[in-house]
């Protein structure tokens, strides 16, 4: 396969201008990053959905900055030409600007991410601007913002009435103004997502936001049917059922260990005859 040039923020912007859809998938470890890159994914998001699908929490709230650094490093090792964005987790960008910059810097320096993602609109524009001024590319995230799930009160479609739709458009513009290079639009009507996408010059990446965004993102485990503990959602399409494949393989393994079918002679190593003779006087 021909080596691809590394994906950059300017390439992503050009893809929007040229009308080329941007493919984004989450990943949390080395093997999934290798596979995503081999598949030609443009951007890997090391999402804090890590909390749900890898760590077994029931929300993203318990995910720590240390968790994100650890998983981002593994992903970056597996994806050499893919643009890697890492989520700043819950409450790591709501304190002082100084603390926000330190936290974002950890994802860039220790995690070796290419960019960070933050959830929220106009209210976090100052934090976004501080990061972009410091040379840290920021992806915004509006609509359903999972870090605020307890405040929102569940996975509900956002921007359904005119007031909240207008607020989401303003939030998107505030993020663009603050220097964000892209913005995730999660769980909103396709008409609102289309309108926001038209109004912005930066790419929009949709999840549950219809077909008119500049790109699409799905959670790895949801898209591949890999034992996700996130409640199934109508906007997710399952492209494989790797959970079933893994389960069948494990059941077979347990069965073969129990009935001594595994390991077979082909998986075992034989002792040299003279060593056997030295030890036991004959080959066992």
- Which ranges constitute the DSSP H helices of 185-272? 190-199, 220-223, 242-258
Q: Which stretch binds ligand KIV (CB under 6 A): 41-49, 175-183, 236-244, 263-271?
A: 41-49
Residue 66 phi, psi (nearest 5): -60, -45
How far lies 27's CA from each of 1, 53, 202, 262, in Å? Answer: 22, 10, 23, 33
Distance CA 202, CA 267 (A): 55
Among the listed residues 224, 247, 186, 230, the one whose alpha carbon sits nearest the alpha carbon of residue 49: 230
Among residues 42, 67, 87, 214, which is the contact residue for ligand KIV, using CB under 6 A? 87
Give the 3-state secondary structure of residue 142: strand
User: Is 179:161 a contact under the CB 8 Å cutoff?
Assistant: no
Which of 2, 186, 255, 261 is flagged as catalytic?
186
Task: State how beta strands 83-87 and 43-46 pair.
Answer: parallel
Minimum distance, C-beta of residue 78 to ligand KIV, in the bound complex (Å): 17
How many residues make contact with ligand KIV (CB under 6 A)?
Answer: 12
| 37 near ligand KIV, rule: CB under 6 A | no
Tell me if residue 38 is catalytic. no
Q: Which stretch binds ligand KIV (CB under 6 A): 47-55, 71-79, 154-162, 262-270?
A: 47-55
Q: Which stretch binds ligand KIV (CB under 6 A): 8-16, 42-50, 192-200, 240-248?
A: 42-50
Among the listed residues 75, 64, 63, the one whose alpha carbon sits nearest the alpha carbon of residue 29: 75
Q: Which stretch binds ligand KIV (CB under 6 A): 45-53, 120-128, 151-159, 174-182?
A: 45-53
| 82 near ligand KIV, rule: CB under 6 A | no
Among residues 108, 188, 219, 224, which is the contact residue for ligand KIV, using CB under 6 A? 219
Residue among 7 and 184 whose Cβ is closer to ligand KIV? 184
Residue among 21 and 276 whose Cβ is closer to ligand KIV? 21
Residue among 140 and 179 whose Cβ is closer to ligand KIV? 140
Tokens standing for residue 107? 């994802």
- Which ranges constitute the DSSP H helices of 200-272? 220-223, 242-258
Residue among 16 and 141 whose Cβ is closer to ligand KIV? 141
| 89 near ligand KIV, rule: CB under 6 A | no
Residue among 26 and 158 whose Cβ is closer to ligand KIV? 26
Q: Is 190 exposed, middle or buried (0-12, 13-18, 19+ CB in 10 A)?
A: middle
Query: Annotated active-site positions, please?
Result: 186
Q: Which residues bind ligand KIV (CB under 6 A)?
A: 26, 45, 47-49, 87, 141, 184, 186, 207, 217, 219
């Amino acid at each position: 396969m021909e080596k691809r040039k590394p994906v950059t923020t300017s390439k992503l912007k050009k893809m929007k201008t040229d009308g080329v859809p941007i493919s984004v998938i989450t990943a949390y470890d080395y093997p999934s990053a290798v596979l995503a890159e081999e598949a030609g994914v443009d951007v890997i998001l090391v999402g804090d959905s890590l909390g749900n699908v890898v760590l077994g929490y029931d929300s993203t709230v318990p995910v720590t900055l240390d968790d994100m650094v650890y998983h981002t490093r593994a992903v970056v090792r597996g994806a050499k030409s893919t643009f890697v964005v890492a989520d700043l987790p819950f409450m790591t960008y709501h304190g002082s600007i100084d603390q926000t910059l330190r936290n974002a810097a950890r994802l860039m320096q220790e995690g070796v991410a290419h960019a960070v993602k933050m959830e929220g609109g106009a209210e976090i524009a100052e934090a976004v601007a501080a990061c972009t001024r410091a040379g840290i590319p920021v992806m915004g995230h509006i609509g359903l913002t999972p870090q605020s799930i307890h405040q929102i009160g569940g996975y509900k479609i956002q921007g359904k009435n005119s007031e909240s739709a207008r607020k989401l458009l303003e939030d998107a513009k505030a993020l663009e103004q603050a220097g964000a290079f892209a913005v995730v639009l999660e769980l909103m009507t396709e008409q609102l997502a289309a309108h926001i996408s038209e109004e912005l010059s930066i790419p929009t990446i949709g999840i549950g936001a219809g077909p008119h965004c500049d790109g699409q993102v799905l959670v790895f485990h949801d898209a591949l049917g890999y034992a996700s503990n996130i409640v199934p959602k109508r906007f997710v399409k399952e492209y494989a059922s790797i959970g079933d494949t893994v389960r069948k393989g494990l059941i077979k393994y347990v069965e073969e260990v129990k009935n001594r079918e595994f390991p077979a002679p082909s998986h075992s190593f034989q002792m040299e005859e003279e060593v056997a003779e030295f030890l036991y006087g004959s080959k066992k």
